Structure 1
Amino acid sequence: MDIKTFEDLIIWARELHANLSRCLSECSSKHPNEQAQGLLTYLAGHESELARITAEFEKQAAPNALKTRVYDYLNGEHKRIKAHETCDGHYADLDFDGIEREVFAFHDQLIDLYDSLAGKAEIPEAKELVESMRTMEEQEAMRLASQVSRMNDV
């Protein structure tokens, strides 16, 4: 997806979460390990919820922030995030820790991108928008880490 505005960024991030959710869900039924299946199912639900939350930013953001151009200072950073546009089924081949590492790396990359964009935003409304998105990702990653840790202890 060609990201030109903050509105495009929100749509792109929402689609990444939704696609990751579908991929995790598909791989859950194919994984041979019951604990990993449970993790994949949980993560799929969590990513689906993140897609829904991310969509809310589009509804609540200031119109001038949504239309602010972001493409000029993205410099291809979004291409470095491992996109989950198609599911290659590799989560079914990873163990519990491998799944956990990949999903947290994905969230870390989004947080880093949002942090970078917040530092480059030219209008306060755009800075506030991307900082809110970063905060949401950080809080959800912490919540996810806590839940996954409990699952791994079982």
Structure 2
Amino acid sequence: MQIETLKDVLHWTQQFHHNLSECLSHCEDKNVDERARIMLDYLSEHEKVLSGVVSGFEKSGNEHALNTWCYEFVNRHPITQHVHCDAPFAELDATQIMEVVSDQHQQVIELYRHLASRADIPAARELLETLQALEEHEMMRMTHASNRLEDY
């Protein structure tokens, strides 16, 4: 996928969440650890919801902000579509699954943070800061749910 504008970044992020959801769901039946299966199910549903939320930003966001070019940044730091099913979620325990998902989300958060720090247009900066806050909040929710699962 060629990424040139913030709308492209949003589309990439929506696809990231969608693909991760699909992979987590796909691996759920293959994992023998009950807690891991519960974690995979929860995270899969969470990623599906996030995909929809990001898609909403993509459809209803400020056109001026969405059409902001980020081509220069992407040329220097290419964004590659990860094939999440390369990660052996079927063989990981709940803690390891959460570590992999957290790491992947942290990379998205860092992308938004960097793009926001370089945005010249206030509407673009606001959009990116909102998306960064959304991703951070959702990471906290997933981590909190993961910790609750460990308590049982």
The two structures share one fold, judged by TM-score above 0.5: yes
Structure 1 partner of 2:34: 34
CA offsets, 1:10-52, max 9 Å, x none?
0000000000000000000100111100100000000001101
Structure 1 partner of 2:125: 127
CA offsets, 1:78-133, max 9 Å, x none?
23xx713x623610011111101000011111111100000011211111111111
Q: 1:89-128 to 2 correspondence within 5 Å?
A: 90-128=88-126
Letter in 1 for 2:10: I
Give the structure-2-normalised TM-score. Answer: 0.94
Q: CA deviation at 1:77?
A: 4.8
Letter in 1 for 2:23: C
Q: 1:3-152 to 2 correspondence within 5 Å?
A: 3-74=3-74, 75-79=76-80, 83-84=82-83, 87-88=85-86, 90-152=88-150
Show structure 1 runs of 5+ residues with no match: none
Percent identity of paired positions between Structure 1 and Structure 2: 38
Runs of 4+ in 1 over 4 A off after TM superposition: none
> Does the 8 Å CA contact 1:78/1:113 hold for their aligned counterparts?
no
> Does the 8 Å CA contact 2:17/2:47 hold for their aligned counterparts?
yes
Give the structure-1-normalised TM-score. Answer: 0.93
CA distance in 2 between counterparts of 1:3 and 1:122 reads 18
CA distance in 1 between counterparts of 2:26 and 2:87 reads 8
CA distance in 1 between counterparts of 2:135 and 2:70 reads 19
CA distance in 2 between counterparts of 1:126 and 1:77 reads 20
The 3 A distance-change label for structure 1 pair 27 and 89 is: farther
Show structure 2 runs of 5+ residues with no match: none
> Does the 8 Å CA contact 1:73/1:120 hold for their aligned counterparts?
no
CA distance in 2 between counterparts of 1:89 and 1:115 reads 25
> Does the 8 Å CA contact 1:27/1:89 hold for their aligned counterparts?
no
CA distance in 2 between counterparts of 1:89 and 1:7 reads 28
> Does the 8 Å CA contact 1:20/1:47 hold for their aligned counterparts?
yes
RMSD (CA atoms): 1.4
